[in-house]
Amino acid sequence: MARLTYQERKNLPKSAFVFPEKAPGPGSYPIPDEAHARNALARVVQHGTPEEKRRVVRAVHRRFPDIEITSEVLRRYLSARSRKKSGRK
């Protein structure tokens, strides 16, 4: 994963963050690419509230549907509808 400098993070569009209202500050979970999306999933499992987990999982799944959500902790935050769209059970 390429490390984002402060300036790069600051220049990302709000749409590249799970929590655009916090961007570019801490806890905003930037997901400009797949590597950062995977990292956001890993971090939210460790430190996120249930609401943060729900929003991160759905944002990552919406933006990068090919990333498989394998953690049982996070899978429950995907709605049944979004799993059917991606062909997952």
Q: What does the pLDDT read at residue 74?
A: 84
DSSP label at 14? G
Query: Which are the contacts of 63, defined by CB distance < 8 A and separation ≥ 6?
Result: 31, 37
Q: What does the pLDDT read at residue 83?
A: 47
Top pLDDT among 1 and 16 is at 16
**In the predicted structure, residue 60 carries a pLDDT above the cut 80:** yes
When pLDDT is averaged across residues 8-29 and rounded to a whole number, the result is 93
Three-point CA angle 78, 40, 42, nearest 5°: 85
pLDDT band at 65 (very low <50, low <70, confident <90, very high): very high
When pLDDT is averaged across residues 61-65 and rounded to a whole number, the result is 95
Q: What percent of the chain has pLDDT over 90?
A: 64
**In the predicted structure, residue 85 carries a pLDDT above the cut 70:** no
Helix (H) or strand (E) holding 66: none
What pTM did the predictor assign?
0.80
